[in-house]
């Protein structure tokens, strides 16, 4: 499809990228931000989960979270939020049992939906 439709080039917009088989908004946002330096918010499962725990969003899917963040999040954070929260989610704010005792935002985090923590 890249060869037939885009002359072998990777499209530069999210709308065009999501037409490619297997490409969702998470990947499309990653391509436009890291590949082309354009604005975008890559929301994976870590970003989605942690934004819920922060109380920033109440959404069902990462795609919905991305749309809310586009309204709420200052643009300076659109690109860095992914790496920041992915790393935080892998090391501290883990899916099943977050390690709140070592978390730098423990005092300020409302811990929405967290039932078990360390």
Q: Kindly list the residues in this chain that would bind ligand SF4 in the complex (CB under 6 A).
A: 50, 53, 92-93, 98-100, 103, 105-106, 109, 111, 114, 117
DSSP state of 29: H
Least spacing, CB of residue 23 vs ligand SF4, in Å: 30
Least spacing, CB of residue 1 vs ligand SF4, in Å: 39
DSSP state of 51: H
Contact 14, 36 (CB under 8 A): no
- Using alpha carbons, list the distances in angstroms from residue 6 to 26, 31, 33, 34, 37: 21, 15, 19, 20, 20
3-state secondary structure of 86: helix
Q: Tell me whether residue 25 or residue 88 sits nearer to ligand SF4 (CB atom).
A: 88
Q: Tell me whether residue 34 or residue 100 sits nearer to ligand SF4 (CB atom).
A: 100
Q: Tell me whether residue 35 or residue 110 sits nearer to ligand SF4 (CB atom).
A: 110
Least spacing, CB of residue 60 vs ligand SF4, in Å: 19
């Amino acid at each position: 499809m890249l060869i037939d439709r885009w002359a072998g080039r990777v499209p530069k917009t999210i709308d065009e990228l999501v037409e490619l088989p297997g490409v969702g908004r998470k990947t499309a946002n990653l391509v436009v931000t890291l590949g082309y330096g354009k604005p975008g918010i890559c929301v994976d499962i870590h970003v989605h989960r942690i934004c819920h725990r922060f109380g920033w969003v109440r959404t069902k899917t990462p795609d919905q979270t991305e749309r809310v963040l586009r309204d709420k999040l200052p643009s300076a954070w659109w690109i860095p939020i992914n790496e920041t929260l992915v790393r935080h989610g892998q090391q501290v704010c883990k899916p099943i049992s977050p390690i709140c005792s070592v978390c730098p935002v423990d005092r300020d985090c409302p811990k929405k939906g967290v039932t078990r923590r360390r």
